[in-house]
Amino acid sequence: MRAVVHVTFKKTVLDPQGRTICSTLNGLGHDNVKEVRQGKYFEIELDGSGEEVRSQIEKIAHEVLANPVIEEYSIEVGD
């Protein structure tokens, strides 16, 4: 089974990398770019199925992949 986890800074947290990319793009002539936010992305292959896998991935995202103090995450569990 395949799961995908996205981790991004909370909206209230400053994203300095994203801001730097945004100003770089503006400097390269992409004046219409207003905001960039950077995040992390994890593809996880694991055995199992259904609700059990979802709650395992939830636990992994919360405890290992993200820092819940400043980051938020979303989970997609597929085939």
Binding site for a copy of itself (CB under 8 A): 6, 8, 18, 21, 24-25, 28, 30, 32-48, 56, 60, 64-65
Which CB sits closer to a copy of itself, 28 or 69?
A: 28
In the complex, least distance from residue 42 CB atom to a copy of itself, rounded to whole angstroms: 6
Task: Determine the Cα–Cα distance for residues 9 and 35; give it in Å rounded to an integer.
Answer: 14
Task: Determine the Cα–Cα distance for residues 41 and 64; give it in Å rounded to an integer.
Answer: 13
In the complex, least distance from residue 12 CB atom to a copy of itself, rounded to whole angstroms: 15
Distances (CA, A) of 53 to 49, 64, 66: 5, 16, 18
Which CB sits closer to a copy of itself, 13 or 41?
A: 41
